Amino acid sequence: MLTFSSVFGCFQIVAVEDTPVNLAKIKQEYSISDDFVYHLEEGEFVMPGFIDTHIHAPQYPNAGVGYDKQLLDWLTTYTFPLEKKFSDLSFAAKVYEAVVVSELQV
């Protein structure tokens, strides 16, 4: 069962339970009415939406960089210069190893 809380019209999952034991407590804690409790049926699952769940390994060093730029400016300033560095196999190996280690820790 999923229990949702609405904050300023945006919904968030506040609990995922396989039994209703804690439901009353959760509903009280988050002021949730029955209208915002969804019981998953057999075979149903939750999948996040509007969340970028993939990465491009060559862009890993640029993660979180340049959000203040438009796409073309970001590509010119960050992406293209970084991609040139991957011709150095030692650099590429370090970046790819860091990507794998980072993703396995998640």
Can you give the C-alpha Rg of the chain in angstroms? 21
Q: What is the pLDDT of residues 44-74, one digit of tens each?
A: 877 766 666 678 888 889 888 888 889 899 9
pLDDT at 5 over 60: no
pLDDT of residue 7: 47
Q: Helix, strand or coil for residue 35?
A: helix
pLDDT of residue 102: 86
pLDDT of residue 51: 63
Q: Kindly report which listed range (20-29, 78-87, 95-104) carries the lowest average pLDDT score.
A: 20-29
pLDDT of residue 8: 46
Q: What CA–CA distance (Å, rounded) separates 39 from 1? A: 4
Decide if 94 contacts 60 (C-beta within 8 A): no
Q: What CA–CA distance (Å, rounded) separates 84 from 37? A: 51
User: Model pTM?
Assistant: 0.48
